[in-house]
Amino acid sequence: MKFTIKHEMTGRLRVHLFHGSMSIAQADLLEYYLLKLPGVKSAKVYERTADAVVLYEGERREIICGIQHFSFQKQEEEIAVPANSGRALNQEYKEKLIGKVVLRAATRTFLPPAVRAVYASLQAIRYIVKGLRCLFRRRLEVEVLDATAITVSIARMDFDTAGSVMFLLGIGELLEEWTHKKSVGDLARSMSLHVEKVWQKIEDTEVLVPVSSVKEGDLVTVHVGNVIPLDGIVSTGEAMVNQASMTGESLPVKKETGSYVYAGTAVEEGEITICVKKAAGSTRFERIVTMIEESEKLKSSVEGKAASLADALVPWSLGGTLLTWALTRNVTKAISILMVDFSCALKLAMPLSVLSAMREANCYHITVKGGKFLEAVAQADTIVFDKTGTLTKAEPVVADVAIFNDMSKEELLRIAACLEEHFPHSMANAVVREAVQRGLVHEEMHSKVDYIVAHGIATYVDGERVVIGSHHFVFEDESCVIPEGCEEKFEQLPTYYSHLYMAIGGRLAAVILIEDPLREEARDVISSLRALGISNIVMMTGDSERTARAIAKKVGVDTYFSEVLPEDKASFVEREKKKGHTVIMIGDGINDSPALSAADAGVAISEGAEIAREIADITISQDDLYQLVTLKAISNGLMKRIHGNYRFVISFNLGLILLGVGGVIAPATSALLHNTSTLAVSLKSMTNLLDGRAIE
């Protein structure tokens, strides 16, 4: 691709491609290509001018080389670009906004006063009809106030003031609609599936294959804790499926042979094999958009309060207008009150503040599924951490394998990996990763695999029962025994490692020693959260009392609980909520899902179990626990901004009313200052709450 460099500075390039204006699809393709180049931090493509801005780290030469090798024809085959990138929506509303401004300027410049009067009167009909509809419903809302102000202005032959009021109302409606649709689109994209591989059932064997290779009619098996990757009909098996992300249902739904299942829903219990009906890239995005728009997830209570307050002030504004006219008999002073309504700023600035905070959080790789969850984080006084994968690193490693039979370490690790890869968790991932690093490839050698949440896995290999999991599961639930003569070796196992027990035929075969290193930033993060208003920090884990006590002491939590089950975590969250506390739950595993659902705000680690991410209200990336501090800082800043907006809107507009009633300023000036302040507070609400750097 031929291009020229239009502007350059360290770490930033603006280039112009010799292509003419691009289509939306071409601009998206180029942008996604640029983002995939090594060292590129961000990229922005302008389709009309065929320009691209690239922010990068590292070698300039590599970026130049990458752009030179770009080809629309070649990359269309190699890069999967989302069907709904949001570019078309932005272009549509930019054109609407520009068109409205140009039309307003043209009518004021070129139309004679008489024609402008007719044009303003015709425009007013829409607003008057809205006001009358409210009155017919016996409701005094903002539409009544707008209609009254416009009607009185036209009745006084003040067509310029009426036109200005309608123009600014139209701009406000357009900005609100654009921002809402853009935010819904961004949120839907963040909630869309990013599944790379699935378990395809071929004859009696499950094979891990790329999702792109799965076609309609293929069979795909979905295990407990995993997200259903594609739409389909259940061929075999039964499962309880959480459909909250798709239908909003709070309780899991039973799916059995013949039932239809949706991509993006999660299997909470059981296991199913589905016959694929829609391949990757079907209509999941549109369904998510519909679900969000029909739900109240985007609405925080502060947004609802703002809308309610705006409507509640309407009767006072109308009453003040009538009272002023009755006392002064001065129409100009009375109209000054009508020209200033509180609703525009309250109804526009508050949602913009919330949506802007969600967008800002996304810049720090924090996905928030609704404004009410930011509000919950701001109000939270209690935070509950799962230990493994949250306070400890998300990638524990296998330190050693202690043998208790006549098999080799490699063979035991091979069997363990064969079982664990079906139910990914941080410890299971460590086993699978260690087997891969040692080159221990395996074929599926077992029968059906059963997963017992928070306990372990059981199956049969060559007719013998094989179990792997916790001490409680292996020795108490399964009644396995330590081979004779190995008791002393068992007692001397290092206590500073987590232990994963595997038994074959009812006898302990191996103990896999898992190193679960503490995150370096964990203690500082907990201190920072406490400084930001969290008063009770709790750690809950299924590990032993010994391990839990050591970790709790190192990170500085207020309280810890060991050897807990999933229902214990959820019960604790519910008890704290009943005491009046606002609770955040942080987790990454299948066993954290009930507590994530129960919390006021459930936060999942992005590399954790799929069901945890699906159920959680907020997702953070695995590599930086400081994102929790950033999330709390953004949430606190949002509430501070909202309360500041309330104070400004009420005081400024009240001041305008008093000045108008006092005859200091004319109604047109009141309208201008009111609408200017509305735009100003709205623009301010769209700015970042932090200074551009993640909180550390």
CA angle 511, 515, 520 (to 5 degrees): 165
End-to-end CA distance of the chain: 41
Min mean pLDDT across 101-110, 150-159, 609-618 is at 609-618
What confidence tens digit (pLDDT) does each residue in 207-243 have? Answer: 888 776 788 888 999 988 788 888 889 999 988 887 7
What confidence tens digit (pLDDT) does each residue in 367-386 have? Answer: 887 788 898 999 999 999 98
pLDDT at 605: 80
pLDDT of 632 strictly over 90: yes
Give 473-526 as a DSSP string: IIIIIS--BPPTT-HHHHHTS-TTSEEEEEEETTEEEEEEEEE-PBPTTHHHHH
pLDDT at 664: 81
pLDDT at 191: 57
Q: Average the pLDDT over 98-117 and give the result.
A: 90
The region, left, alpha or beta by phi > 0 then psi within -120 to 50, assigned to residue 692 is left
pLDDT of 296 strictly over 50: no
What confidence tens digit (pLDDT) does each residue in 508-554 have? Answer: 999 999 877 788 888 999 999 999 999 999 999 877 787 788 888 88
Q: Which of 59, 47, 50, 44 is nearest to 19 (CA)?
A: 50
Q: Average the pLDDT over 434-458 and give the result.
A: 73
What does the mean pLDDT of the chain come to? 81
Residue 307's pLDDT band (cuts 50, 70, 90): low
- The CA distance from 124 to 120, in Å, is 6
Cβ 333 vs Cβ 665: under 8 Å: no
pLDDT at 402: 94
Name 159's Cβ contacts closer than 8 Å, sequence gap at least 6.
Answer: 113, 116, 117, 120, 121, 153
Long-range contacts made by residues 528-532, C-beta under 8 angstroms, separation at least 24? 528/626, 528/629, 528/695, 529/383, 529/628, 529/629, 529/632, 532/629, 532/632, 532/633, 532/636
What confidence tens digit (pLDDT) does each residue in 50-63 have? Answer: 888 999 888 888 88
Residue 489's pLDDT band (cuts 50, 70, 90): very high
pLDDT at 470: 85
DSSP category for residue 590: G
Tokens of 437: 């690093």
Q: Average the pLDDT over 263-287 and give the result.
A: 73
Tokens of 281: 């890239």
pLDDT of 304 strictly over 70: no
Neighbours of 528 (CB within 10 A): 20
State the amino acid at position 10 in one-letter form: T
Q: Average the pLDDT over 482-494 and give the result.
A: 90
Long-range contacts made by residues 278-282, C-beta under 8 angstroms, separation at least 24? 278/216, 278/230, 278/231, 278/232, 279/214, 279/215, 279/216, 279/230, 280/195, 280/211, 280/212, 280/214, 280/229, 280/230, 281/80, 281/83, 282/230, 282/231
Residue 694's pLDDT band (cuts 50, 70, 90): very low
pLDDT of 583 strictly over 90: yes
- The CA distance from 300 to 621, in Å, is 24
Return the residue matching tokens 């016996």. 138
Most confident of 6-15, 245-254, 363-372, 620-629: 6-15
Min mean pLDDT across 233-237, 332-336, 586-590 is at 332-336
Return the residue matching tokens 């140009």. 102
Most confident of 83-97, 237-251, 331-345, 601-615: 83-97
pLDDT of 250 strictly over 60: no
pLDDT of 346 strictly over 60: yes
The helix (H) or strand (E) run that includes residue 560 is: strand 559-561
- The CA distance from 438 to 413, in Å, is 10
- The CA distance from 465 to 482, in Å, is 15
pLDDT at 188: 64
Tokens of 179: 């921002």
How long is the chain? Answer: 696
The helix (H) or strand (E) run that includes residue 437 is: helix 426-437
The pTM for the full model equals 0.65
Higher pLDDT, 567 or 613: 567
The helix (H) or strand (E) run that includes residue 248 is: none
Higher pLDDT, 281 or 689: 689
pLDDT of 446 strictly over 60: no
Cα distances (Å, whole numbers) of residue 244 to 99, 186, 252, 573, 679: 40, 19, 8, 20, 37
pLDDT at 282: 47
Return the residue matching tokens 């005094």. 140
Name 654's Cβ contacts closer than 8 Å, sequence gap at least 6.
Answer: none
Alpha carbon dihedral 632, 636, 642, 646, in 10-degree steps, equals: 160
Residue 306's pLDDT band (cuts 50, 70, 90): low
Please tell me whether residue 427 adopts helix, strand or coil conformation.
helix
DSSP category for residue 581: -
- The CA distance from 582 to 249, in Å, is 23
Higher pLDDT, 322 or 295: 322
- The CA distance from 490 to 286, in Å, is 56
Higher pLDDT, 551 or 115: 115
pLDDT of 563 strictly over 60: yes
- The CA distance from 500 to 508, in Å, is 11
Give 128-155 as a DSSP string: HHHHHHHHHTT---HHHHHHHHHHHHHH
pLDDT of 18 strictly over 70: yes
Return the residue matching tokens 């539409």. 143
- Tell me the torsion sign for CA atoms 60, 65, 68, 69: negative
Q: Which of 325, 289, 283, 513 is nearest to 404 (CA)?
A: 513
Q: Which of 293, 184, 285, 295 is nearest to 248 (CA)?
A: 295
Q: Average the pLDDT over 430-440 and give the result.
A: 88
Tokens of 253: 């739904």
Beta-bridge partner residues of 587:
604
Half-sphere exposure of 322 (CA within 13 A, CB side): 8
Query: What is the DSSP pairing of strand 266-278 with strand 205-210?
Result: unpaired
What confidence tens digit (pLDDT) does each residue in 607-617 have? Answer: 655 566 667 78
Q: Which of 410, 413, 476, 423 is nearest to 449 (CA)?
A: 423
- The CA distance from 134 to 141, in Å, is 7
pLDDT of 270 strictly over 70: yes
Residue 696's pLDDT band (cuts 50, 70, 90): very low
